[in-house]
Amino acid sequence: MGREFWAGDGFLAILCTGPRNEGGVNVESRWFMSFFKSFLVLICLTFGFASVAAAQEDIESLRPLVNALAKGKFKETEKQIGALAATGNSAVAPALEALGDGDLYARKSDGVVFIAKKAGKGYALTDPLTLEDAGEVGRRAVSKIKVNNGLRRVIRSALGSLTLQSADPEVRKTAAEAIFKAKDPDGIEALDGALAKETDDGVRLVMEQARAAAVLASDMSLEVKTAAIEVLETMGNRDALSVIVGVQNASEGELKQVADDAVRRIKKNLAMWDNAQNIWYGLSLGSVLLLAAIGLAITFGVMGVINMAHGEMVMIGAYVTFVVQEIIRSSAPWLFEYSLLIALPLAFIVSGSIGIAIERGIIRWLYGRPLETLLATWGLSLMLQQAVRSIFGPTNQEVGNPDWMSGAFELGQLTITYNRMWIIVFSLLVFAGLMLVLKKTPFGLFTRAVTQNRRMAASMGIRTPWIDAFTFGLGSGIAGIAGVALSQIDNVSPNLGQGYIIDSFMVVVFGGVGNLWGTLVGAMTLGVVNKFLEPYAGAVLGKIFVLVFIILFIQKRPRGLFALKGRAVES
């Protein structure tokens, strides 16, 4: 799929990117509201193509019925409309639509019916069934098929039932949704007809909701409207709320009471979903923090080395992703969908090797002098930033999202974007993988041995310098992997890492040094707390509150949430 996307094949590209736009339905709501009729026709056109092509024969069999529209008075026309609707073939929709708009004309010479638009001095004709161009004629060669308001209503319901009873459930659903948006009482009849025949439960639900919205806009009895409000209440989202609020404002007495209750309940329900959304955003932020901090949890937490260049390892990981994508774009576009998977091991290796080089070159001379380590690695971070700036320039680099990272889906009232979801999943996978490495592999055993008692480990034949180097490399490599993930949601610039370094330290310190679980809980807690503060305090103030909270927290529990106790820590 991705291959066509990058091959630049316009049509398929549109199909591919199609799902991405569905998240933005609301944007189009105004458009829906005003012209639901035209929309139905559009659906017929879009989804009708296939049937048109497949059943050319059928269409020709419809032509006598269409031509019959031109005959007789309103009474007869009404019957003909009924007959057309009864075919259940959506190919007749354009003709009906044109009839309602007064654009349907009969050719005087042979009585054949066309859709006609004024063009110059005459009319441009279009075949009402095949929608092919049928040339131009003079003004006097055709005569308009007249309609009145009564007919227009008949046409509308016929159109509604045509789409509402289409063979394709998608068409039926979209038609029902359009009625919901328009809140058109005229749609009730058509919906009732469609509901009687509906077999798909999903579509039935949408139809019932649409009917309820339409009922509330009509002048029907109190009982019916109360029932409609109940239907909408079960729907429970903002659309339903806005319909009921409309009722609430427009009505008095008992109905208002019912609406008031429903609004209150829906709002309560929505507040719950808002909280769920906040938690989701919080977890999403938490997973980003986790990714940024987890490598640090190894270098700082397990080894006790303050690596201020940790953020730059993340940044380098992001740049590796950028380079991989650039190469893929220029020489192997079909690989784009896999670009992140290719970048992951590369980023790990690049950042990891730089980490090992740093450990061998600088940090090993500074063990036992944490403050000096801090300064030296800060200097290193300045150099790495400047190096990247010199090579790639100071501006943001564009890193693309593969399709599987794009778009969103709905869960209840939640909108869940794929990139956020994958990053949460990914961060947990990295966490689990790291746990496995540290707990279940010989390397992990050696690492733990060296960090607990260096001298003893050395005397048991463990090459402690190499364990140090590789542990540091592991922490840096994981930072590189984090960079691949963060390149999907953040700007890739030389300053990328700096934005994360303070947050990462906060997470590790808050969670408790030397404890990976603490890092997990710390990251998620800080993420969620941050997102819950944001609506009240704003993003910046929320962040300040979190920082102040951590500053106070560290004073209360200097060793973080999950502190190690005992003599080993004291000495």
Partner 1 sequence: MMTSFLFRTLDAKAGVFIAILLAVIVAVPCFNLLVPETSSFHLPTYAVTLMGKYMTYALLALSVDLVWGFCGILSLGHGAFFALGGYAMGMYLMRQIGTRGVYGDPILPDFMVFLNWKELPWYWYGFDMFWFAAIMVMLVPGVLAFVFGWFAFRSRVTGVYLSIITQALTYALLLAFFRNDMGFGGNNGLTDFKDILGFDVQADTTRAGLFATSGLAVLICFLICRAITKSKLGKVLVAVRDAESRTRFLGYRVEHYKLFVWTISAMMAGIAGALYVPQVGIINPGEFAPANSIETVIWVAVGGRGTLVGAVIGAILVNFAKTWFTAALPDLWLFALGGLFVAVTLFLPKGIIGIAGDLMKKRKSTPSKETNDTSGPSATKTPDPEPAE
Partner 2 sequence: MSRPNSLLYLDGVSVSFDGFKALNDLSMVIGPGEMRAIIGPNGAGKTTMMDVITGKTKPDTGEVYFNGVVDLTGEDEASIAELGIGRKFQKPTVFESHTIWDNLELALKGPRGPFATLFHRLSAEEEARINELLKVIRLGEKAHELAENLSHGQKQWLEIGMLLAQDPKLLLVDEPAAGMTDAETAETAELLKDIAKTHAVVVVEHDMTFIRALGVKVTCLAEGSVLAEGSLDYVSANERVVEVYLGR
Binding stretches for partner 2 (CB under 8 A): 564-567, 570
Closest separation in Å from C-beta 566 to partner 2: 4
| Residues 6+ positions from 400 with CB-CB distance below 8 Å | 325, 336, 339
Residue nearer to partner 1 on the CB measure, 407 or 518: 518
Q: Is 32 in the site for partner 1 (CB under 8 A)?
A: no
Q: Is 562 in the site for partner 1 (CB under 8 A)?
A: no
Determine which residue in the list 44, 191, 340, 506 makes contact with partner 1, applying CB under 8 A: 506
- Say how many C-beta atoms besides its own lie within 10 A of residue 154's C-beta: 22
Nearest to partner 1 of 236, 512 (CB atom): 512
Q: Work out what residue 53 binds among partner 2, partner 1, none; the CB cut-off runs from 5 to 8 Å by kind.
A: none
Each residue 387-416 as x (binds partner 1 by CB under 8 A) or -, in order, gives x--x--------------------------
Q: Which is nearer to partner 2, 42 or 561 (CB)?
A: 561
Measured in whole angstroms, how far is the alpha carbon of residue 287 from the centre of its chain?
Answer: 17
Strand partners, 416: 409
Question: Hey, what are 228's tokens?
Answer: 């409609």
C-alpha span between 402 and 333 (Å, rounded)? 12
Q: Which residues of 511-534 are buried (b: 16+ CB within 10 A; e: fewer)?
A: bbbbbbebbbbbbbbbbbbbbbbb
Burial tier of 445 (Cβ tally within 10 Å: 0-12, 13-18, 19+): middle
Site for partner 1 in 309-368 (CB under 8 A): 362, 365-366, 368
| 201-230 binders of partner 1 (CB under 8 A) | none
Using alpha carbons only, what angle is made at residue 501 by residues 523 and 338, rounded to the nearest 5 degrees? Answer: 75
Q: Residue with structure tokens 């890193």? A: 399
The minimum distance between CB 553 and partner 2, in angstroms, equals 21
Q: Of partner 2, partner 1, none, which one does residue 567 interact with (CB within 5 to 8 Å by kind)?
A: partner 2
- Tell me how far apart the terminal alpha carbons of the chain are, to the nearest angstrom: 59
CA distance 157 to 185: 11
Shortest Å, Cβ 567 to partner 2: 7
Q: Which does 27 bind (CB under 5 to 8 A by kind): partner 1, partner 2, none?
A: none
Smallest CA-to-CA distance from 186 within 205, 166, 206, 158 is with 158
- Regarding 502 and contact with partner 1 (CB under 8 A), the answer is yes
Does residue number 381 form part of the binding site for partner 1 (CB under 8 A)?
yes
The answer to the question of residue 568 lying near partner 1 (CB under 8 A) is no
The residue among 480, 440, 489, 476 whose CA lies nearest residue 287 is: 489
The listed partner (partner 2, partner 1, none) that binds 391, CB under 5 to 8 Å by sort, is none
Q: Does 550 bind partner 1 (CB under 8 A)?
A: yes
Whether the Cβ atoms of residue 33 and residue 181 lie closer than 8 Å to each other: yes
Among 39, 22, 23, 27, smallest CA distance to 179 is for 39
Which long-range CB contacts under 8 A does 231-236 form with residues at least 24 apart?
A: 232/262, 233/262, 233/265, 233/266, 235/209, 236/266, 236/269, 236/270, 236/413
Q: Is the CB of 433 or the CB of 558 nearer to partner 1?
A: 558
205 binding partner (options partner 2, partner 1, none; Cβ < 5 to 8 Å by kind): none
**Residue 509 contact partner, candidates partner 2, partner 1, none, CB within 5 to 8 A by sort of partner:** partner 1
The entry of partner 2, partner 1, none that residue 551 binds, CB within 5 to 8 Å by partner kind: partner 1
Contacts of 2 (CB under 8 A, 6+ apart): 16, 334, 336, 337, 402, 403
Q: How far is the CB of 510 from partner 1 (least distance, A)?
A: 11
383 binds partner 1 (CB under 8 A): yes
Identify any residues that bridge with 408 across adjacent strands, giving them in sequence order.
Answer: 417
Structure tokens at 30: 């105004």
**DSSP bridge pairs for 117:** 124
| Residue located via tokens 């994981």 | 478
Q: Choose which of 77, 90, 166, 385 interacts with partner 1 (CB under 8 A).
A: 385
Q: Does an H or E element contain 118, and which?
A: strand 113-119
**Continuous segment of H or E residues that includes residue 180:** helix 169-182
Stretch that binds partner 1, among 12-20, 159-167, 195-203, 369-377 (CB under 8 A): 369-377
- Restricted to residues 105-134, the positions that interact with partner 1 (CB under 8 A) are none
- Judged by beta carbon, residue 257 or residue 453, the one nearer partner 2 is 453
- Choosing from 370, 412, 433, 535, the residue that interacts with partner 1 (CB under 8 A) is 370
Task: Return the SS3 of 374.
Answer: helix
Q: Which is nearer to partner 1, 196 or 540 (CB)?
A: 540
- Which residues are registered as beta bridge partners of 382? none
Number of residues that bind partner 1 (CB under 8 A): 42
The CB-of-562 to partner 2 minimum distance in angstroms stands at 11
CB of 571 to partner 2, least distance (A): 9
- 86/564 with CB nearer partner 2: 564
Task: State the nearest-atom distance from the C-beta of 368 to partner 1, in Å.
Answer: 4
Give the C-alpha separation, 176 to 205, whole Å. 10
Give me 212's structure tokens: 């309820």
What does the alpha-carbon distance between residue 207 and residue 238 come to, in Å, rounded to a whole number? 17
User: Segment near partner 1 (CB under 8 A), from 224-232, 332-340, 398-406, 501-509?
Assistant: 501-509
Least distance (Å) between residue 485 CB and partner 1:
24
d(CA 89, CA 51): 9
Binding piece for partner 1, criterion CB under 8 A, among 13-21, 201-209, 288-296, 500-508 = 500-508
**Contact partner, 50, from partner 2, partner 1, none, Cβ < 5-8 Å per class:** none
Token look-up 């820590």 returns: 569
Choose the one of partner 2, partner 1, none that binds residue 565, judging by a C-beta under 5 to 8 angstroms depending on kind.
Answer: partner 2
> Where along the sequence are the contacts to partner 1 (CB under 8 A)?
304, 306, 362, 365-366, 368-376, 378-383, 385-387, 390, 502, 505-506, 509, 540-541, 543-544, 547-548, 550-552, 554-556, 558, 571
